[in-house]
Amino acid sequence: MRERERSFPPAVEMKDVTLFYGNRAILRDFNLEVHLGERVLLKGPSGSGKSTVLHCLLGLAVPREGVIRVRGEPVDSRSVWKTRLYLGYVPQEPDLGRGTVRQVLEGPFAFRANEKLRKNLEWIPSLLRRFDLAQELLEKQASTLSGGEKQRVALIGAILLERSVVLLDEASSALDEENKRRVAEYFRETPDLTILAVSHDAAWENFATRTVSLAPAFREESA
């Protein structure tokens, strides 16, 4: 790890980031560095801005101040379209949209940036087995899936895109203990991946190489 830290920029980096929603400060002078290969657990009370941290890295929330970098490149209005391609993301309570599970999984490969990864769709059968999902699920309407099934399909979707950094937002909250263990095990067995996970689950505590705690930044201010 030490050697990597020296030769590569951090996988993700946030420096003195302050973000407001309206008049409410969600993050204030927040700092974070996650290095390649690290598995970091982000903890904090609800409303402390854990999901917002992930959104900032993805360029889905724009901070008022501070610098955000992904693999050394700034996440700004010009390069955000490129830095998003380094990141896999499983949102909290994922919305899979319309269509069958197969269509949901194939959808992102229609984007020009992902076209060359299309062969990864061959991983689907083994990933379904790995996460204890039936092959027949592929032909089911995604909207009819249970919360736990949706989460695992969203995880598979993120894995298929083969990003080097994966952001997980309560990605196992609807899973039973056995499946939580399977998911954590998958990521542990893939050491090349850098993981930043928001979770309340104990299963992730053992799995993380480091824990970062977030304190609420509530403070009313005029925007």
Site of interaction with other proteins (CB under 8 A): 58-60, 62, 77-78, 80-81, 84-85, 87, 89, 91, 94-95, 97, 107-108, 110-114, 157, 161
Residue 187 main-chain phi, psi, to 5 deg: -70, -30
User: Given the complex with other proteins, which of 8 and 111 has the nearer CB atom?
Assistant: 111
Nearer to other proteins, 62 or 215 (CB): 62
CB of 120 to other proteins, least distance (A): 13
Closest approach of Cβ 156 to other proteins, in Å? Answer: 13
Cβ of residue 182: shortest distance to other proteins, in angstroms? 23
Q: How far apart are CB 38 and other proteins at their closest, in Å?
A: 21
Q: Which is nearer to other proteins, 84 or 102 (CB)?
A: 84
Nearer to other proteins, 135 or 141 (CB): 141
